[in-house]
Amino acid sequence: MFHTSRQMNAVNLTDHEQPYTPSPYLMPNIPNRTNLRIAIPDSPTMRIQTYYDRVQTYRTLTAGDMMKQEEEKLNPGHIKLRNKLRIIGPIVMGFGGLLIVTGIINLIIAIANEDVPWLFWCIMLGIPTLGVGGMITQFAFIGAVTRYVAGESAPVGKDTFNYMAKETQPGVRDITTAIREGLTEPQAGTSNTVACSQCHHPNDADARFCDQCGNEMITNKRCTNCNNENDLDARFCDNCGKALT
């Protein structure tokens, strides 16, 4: 049987019935809309039921609630300030517009009656007032407008990216192939040849004998100490460090 924390003092608990508070590691950072400190039998079934209730409480949170929590973390008091700006901005805009309309009406009447427009200053004051009110309103609703624009443009951007990624695969493949071939092929002005170790005459890379002196092409040096093969231009063995002859 479940008991709220207010009923804890009025309930006589048995040896197997202890107050249980769900672990904060199960569902961290979840606001408690209901008091979840309850007295339940110490059994796995009841603990699972408590965890399920906590999950249901979490699922009742709307996206707006989660967004408000994040905004409060970044800037405490942000929601209250935004609500005030959403009220002050339209009021200032309306006051500025009223001043402009009053000045224009007075100007028209004065011109019709060939009189001096005594309320012409309302136009001069209403224009900056209207601009200030518009800026305040823009700051107040910039988040909602940005989220709307993002919601409208994100699907289009996703479709565009997927289309470009699919249709440009052949071109990207050709570019990578050309780069790989350019790195593996010899540079311009050089030939893929190997010099003979006896007469230093250039021969083809796959030649087994020199076409000038007829000696066998030696492509590496073998160390007489450890019998390790080294590059042809090496002076010391890269295995034992002995000088190569």
Convert the pLDDT of each residue in 159-208 to its tens digit.
Answer: 999 999 888 888 888 899 888 887 776 555 555 677 777 787 887 777 77
- From residue 160, how far is each of 78, 154, 163, 169, 183 by CA, in Å? 35, 10, 5, 14, 33
Is the model's pTM score more than 0.85?
Answer: no
Q: Which residue ranges in the chain fall short of pLDDT 50? A: 1-41
Residue 52: the pLDDT is: 54
Contact 130, 103 (CB under 8 A): no
Contact 219, 194 (CB under 8 A): yes
Residue 103: the pLDDT is: 92
Residue 232: the pLDDT is: 72
Q: How far apart are CA 31 and CA 9, in angstroms?
A: 25
Residue 93: the pLDDT is: 94
**DSSP string computed for 110-169:** HHHTT---TTTHHHHHHHHHHHHHHHHHHHHHHHHHHHHHHHHHHHHHHHHHHHHHHHTH
